[in-house]
Structure 1
Amino acid sequence: MQLVSGIFHLPFTNLITALTMVPHPAFQIFIDMVEGYMPMPEYDRQLCYDHMEVIHVPKGTVLEAPGNIPQHLYFICGGYLRNFHVNAEGKEVTADLGGPGRFFTSYTHFANRTFSNETIECLTDATLLRVNQKSNEYLYAHGSIIKEFTIQLFSQLMELDKQRVEELTTLTAEQRYLNFMETHPGMLQNVPLQHIASFLGINPGSLSRIRANLVA
């Protein structure tokens, strides 16, 4: 180590090594989410640093295209994503919307390595952690808490999917929108209204009238 004008300087090669050892701030968002379920040991953190990749993607980017096997599982550190497919009438149907603190992909196709009819796109600029299937399996097999965390997380996601199906069949359109407003306030400012309407199973015109009535 050299001291120049009162400032310590590492030799260039050592400086590069030191910088590469500092995890990207996006990882802390992920760690905080995990620790909402259980403590995350340093060993597991290091596995994630080694096997997950930070990417910054602009609005409109297609992360996973239909007709392919999904290549990555994403964790949203910042921004909003949409999962949609095109139905027999040629209309886009929004199957899922995701914001900060959520995992996101075409889960069944990613896990089973099957071809997907779904598109994963960025609705805003986004900062993401991503992991491919091989690295995901390695984390699952070698992490001390990652397997248990994954089981808990996807059990929760399944319950949320079940709840959404129940709401589609038991709640009115206005009740579904009010629930969405309460549980996903950030999406109202970042997700186009037609995508929210599709996700909630509401005609866009009907949703516009509901919104107008709520502010009247």
Structure 2
Amino acid sequence: MPYQKITRLIAELVRIDKFDQHLIKEVFEPVSYRKSHVIVSSGDIARYMYFINTGYLRLYHIDGDGEEVTNHINCPMGFMTAFNSYITQTRSHEIFECITDCELLRITRGNLDELLKHNQRWAELGKILYEEIIRYNEQKVKDQVSLTTKQRYFNLVEQLPDIMQQVPLSYIASFMGIKPDSLSRIHREVTT
């Protein structure tokens, strides 16, 4: 059932009742996308926030040299979109795509806003999720400057245990801010 994972997550964060469980099914739409499907292109407006049931997603941009730079791979708690575009409802400068086949739930910005206004529990959930996204981004920046590449590798594999089997090394290396050769070397060192 597509709503089990999200219902379990929400119930771990705030108390929900049967009506809330029904509300989840009302506002989150199940969608399936194939590997390499682009959900939001650069220049598009992100109309949906996605909850990841299965699969891997990435958010990336093209730098001044024409290289892809991966900003995010499967954000914490499973919610992901082209965040700036979704929040401001302006054109995205990033590309949001499926790395693997994905089973997702999506919610429009309008439905999310209404849901968060529904009652105090939903407002608290919104606060928890936004705080987690901010904390995640700040920790990512801090780790980039304070941890070794090997420590960042271990943290990533701890958070996403099957990432090395599911996601191309070039995407992971870009996400970590290193060259693919360096990531391959670290991966060999720790797996032999």
Identity %: 33
Partner of 2:100: 124
Q: Which runs of 4+ in 1 moved over 3 A?
A: none
Instruction: Tell which deviates more after alignment, 205-214 or 115-124.
Output: 205-214
The one-letter code of the counterpart of 2:115 is L
TM superposition score normalised by structure 2: 0.94
- Paired residue for 1:181, among 157, 168, 172? 157
Match for residue 157 of structure 1? 133
1:70-105 per-residue CA deviation (whole Å, 9 max, x = no partner) reads 111000011111111100100000000017950000
User: How far does residue 215 in structure 1 lie from its aligned partner after superposition?
Assistant: 3.3
2:147 aligns with 171
Helix, strand or coil for the counterpart of 2:157? helix
How many residues are matched?
192
Contact kept, 8 Å, 1:85 with 1:119, in 2: the verdict is yes
2:48 aligned to which of 72, 76, 80 = 72
Paired position in structure 2 for 1:39? 15
| DSSP 3-state at the match of 1:35 | helix
Match of 1:88 in 2: 64
| 1:32-71 CA-partner distances (Å, limit 9, x unpaired) | 0111212212222222211211111111111111101111
1:151-173 CA-to-partner distances (Å, cap 9, x unmatched) read: 11110121111111011111121
Q: 1: CA distance between counterparts of 2:152 and 2:101? A: 27
For 1:49 and 1:141, the matched residues in 2 are separated by 17
Distance 1:28 1:134 in 2: 23
Shift in CA distance, 57/100, structure 1 to aligned 2, threshold 3 Å: farther
Q: Which range moves more in the overlay, 100-109 or 158-167? A: 100-109
Partners of 2:119 and 2:63 in 1: how far apart?
Answer: 39
TM-score (norm 1): 0.84
Deviation at 1:212, TM superposition (A): 2.1
* Amino acid aligned to 1:196: I
**Aligned-pair RMSD on alpha carbons?**
1.6
The change in CA–CA distance for 1:213 and 1:137 in structure 2 (over 3 A counts) is same
Alignment of 1:18-33 (within 5 A): 25-33=1-9
DSSP-derived class of the 2:73 partner:
strand
Q: CA deviation at 1:150?
A: 1.2
- The answer to whether the Cα contact below 8 Å between 1:99 and 1:187 also exists between their aligned partners in 2 is no
Gaps of 5+ in 2: none
